[in-house]
């Protein structure tokens, strides 16, 4: 156990998480924030965005040069039904930004944002705050970007049909590996200056082993052997939270009736045994809320209501460590109680999560009455 949640620091995280998602590509690529080209409906707070724009201006001298492989559209915007413009494989993002599918897909939409950002950096009206610029000569590039929307490919095309042996997701990965092995850029560097998107934990399942030593953008290291992906060379980017920010939050400690909110599956195979034990320990507590299963269409609304009505959110090992729900809770000012001894959180090196999260060792949490008593005594001021 480290610290007790304070509301001020939760507000800080709330802003930080938002900033981190929206600016993930900034952290990853130090790329432009070319807000003109983005659909502002997808950006919940454009005011904050423009503040960032100003801040980024100061970084203008650290422009990262990115070479973008002209992969055929089937690897990227073709998956979004985006129409290439003229002879280019890319859509003209000044006039046409293909939308990213909603629901759980959005969690991994970093692949779209990064690509748009690189494309947008070329236009004369691109933001002056650019931190990335697309270069056409790969010898001048600092980084070689591989624009395969692998999460979308996994989400949409990983299931084969009875007549087709290989799923389109597998085929695209094979094609990608083949393509890369023939490229001058890859031969020259061996691939260690390549940046590859594999944000969905199950994306790139076939190709990942062949693409080392590229830098991956991942949501966690859970399914990778340490020689293929590790903290030395890769980037952990957060899931985009699904719940909107709790604007005009007039709630307070006393007006949130539920003490502890949990959403998810109770029975998980690996590492999730604590869930069952906690469920049996807590299920009869009257101010505890368990909501089962994953968020469906209706579920998001319920989760919003649930988190807004709760003081704390229970995050137990067993799901993907960086699951969007944790960020949903933060966006709802619902203080995370994390029971996961091995959790890796995005940007841990710059954000001190112990300032606004409570960490409880699994071995403590499953002691009878320990957790509930521990949380009950957290005072209003500390919350």
Coil, strand or helix at 122: coil
Q: Which CB atom, from 137 or from 161, has the smaller least distance to ligand NAG?
A: 137
**Pair of tokens at residue 226:** 């340490």
Q: CB of residue 65 vs ligand NAG: minimum separation in angstroms?
A: 11
Residues 6+ apart with CB under 8 A from 320: 201, 219, 220, 222, 239
Q: How far is the CB of 136 from ligand NAG (least distance, A)?
A: 8
| Residue with smaller CB distance to ligand NAG, 139 or 250 | 139
- DSSP β-bridge partners for residue 291: 263
The CA distance from 25 to 261, in Å, is 31
Q: How far is the CB of 135 from ligand NAG (least distance, A)?
A: 9
Residue burial 197-208, b: 16+ Cβ < 10 Å; e: rest: bbbbbebbbbbb
CB of 69 to ligand NAG, least distance (A): 16
184 contacts ligand NAG (rule: CB under 6 A): no
Q: Where are the beta strands (DSSP E) in the chain?
A: 64-68, 132-134, 143-146, 194-197, 215-218, 235-236, 258-264, 288-292, 310-316, 335-339, 358-359
**Least separation in angstroms between CB 124 and ligand NAG:** 21
Nearer to ligand NAG, 137 or 284 (CB): 137
Stretch that binds ligand NAG, among 51-59, 72-80, 84-92, 134-142 (CB under 6 A): 134-142
Give the one residue of 137, 161, 182, 284 binding ligand NAG; rule: CB under 6 A: 137
Q: Which residues share a beta bridge with 117?
A: none
Which of 31-39, 137-145, 196-204, 293-301 is the region at the interface with ligand NAG (rule: CB under 6 A)?
137-145
Nearest C-alpha neighbor of 347 from the set 231, 240, 201: 231
Q: How far apart are CA 324 and CA 330, in angstroms?
A: 10
Smallest distance from the beta carbon of 118 to ligand NAG, in angstroms? Answer: 18
Q: Is 364 in the site for ligand NAG (CB under 6 A)?
A: no
Residue number with CB closer to ligand NAG (129 or 135): 135
Q: 3-state class of 243 per DSSP?
A: coil
Nearer to ligand NAG, 193 or 220 (CB): 193
The reply on whether position 139 binds ligand NAG by CB under 6 A is: yes
- Candidates 59-67, 82-90, 114-122, 135-143; binding stretch for ligand NAG (CB under 6 A): 135-143
Total residues binding ligand NAG (CB under 6 A): 3
Query: Least distance in Å: CB of 138 to ligand NAG?
Result: 8
DSSP of 153-200: HHHHH-S--TT-SS-HHHHHHHHHHHHHHT-HHHHHHTTTTEEEE--S
Interface residue with ligand NAG, options 54, 60, 70, 140 (CB under 6 A):
140
Nearest distance, CB of residue 60 and ligand NAG, angstroms: 22
359: three-class secondary structure by DSSP: strand
Distance CA 31, CA 110 (A): 13
Q: Which is nearer to ligand NAG, 139 or 182 (CB)?
A: 139
Question: Strand, coil or helix: what is 105?
Answer: helix
Chain residues binding ligand NAG by CB under 6 A are 137, 139-140
């Amino acid at each position: 156990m480290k610290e007790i949640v304070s509301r001020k620091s939760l507000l800080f995280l709330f802003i930080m998480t938002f900033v981190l998602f929206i600016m993930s590509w900034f952290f990853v690529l130090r790329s432009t924030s070319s807000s003109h080209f983005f659909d502002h409906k997808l950006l919940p707070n454009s005011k904050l965005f423009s503040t960032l724009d100003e801040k980024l201006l100061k970084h203008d001298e650290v422009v990262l040069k990115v070479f973008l492989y002209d992969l055929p559209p089937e690897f990227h915007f073709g998956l979004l039904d985006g129409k290439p413009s003229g002879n280019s494989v890319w859509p003209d993002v000044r006039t046409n930004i293909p939308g990213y599918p909603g629901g759980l897909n959005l969690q991994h939409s970093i692949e779209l944002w990064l690509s748009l950002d690189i494309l947008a950096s070329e236009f004369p009206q691109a933001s002056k705050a650019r931190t990335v610029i697309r270069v056409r000569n790969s010898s001048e590039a600092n980084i070689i970007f591989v624009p395969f929307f692998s999460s979308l490919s996994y989400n949409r095309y990983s299931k084969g049909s009875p007549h087709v042996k290989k799923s389109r997701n597998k085929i695209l990965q094979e094609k990608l590996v083949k393509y890369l092995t023939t490229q001058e850029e890859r031969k020259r560097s061996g691939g260690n200056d390549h940046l590859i998107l594999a944000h969905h934990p199950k994306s790139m399942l076939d190709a990942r082993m062949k693409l080392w030593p590229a830098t991956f953008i991942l949501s966690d290291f859970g399914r990778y052997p340490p020689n293929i992906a590790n903290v030395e060379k890769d980037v952990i980017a957060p899931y985009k939270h699904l719940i909107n920010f709790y604007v005009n939050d007039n709630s307070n400690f006393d007006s949130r009736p539920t003490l502890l909110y949990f959403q998810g599956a109770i029975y998980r195979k690996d590492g999730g045994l604590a869930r069952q034990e906690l469920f049996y320990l807590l299920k009869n507590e009257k101010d505890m809320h368990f909501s089962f299963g994953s968020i469906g269409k209706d579920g998001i609304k319920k989760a919003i209501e649930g988190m807004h009505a709760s003081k704390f959110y229970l995050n137990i090992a067993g799901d993907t460590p960086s699951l969007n729900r944790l960020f949903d809770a933060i966006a709802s000012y619902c203080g995370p109680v994390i029971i996961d001894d091995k959790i890796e959180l995005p940007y841990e090196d710059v954000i001190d999560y112990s300032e606004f999260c409570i960490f409880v060792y699994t071995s403590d949490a499953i002691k009878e009455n320990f957790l509930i008593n521990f949380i009950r005594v957290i005072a209003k001021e500390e919350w």
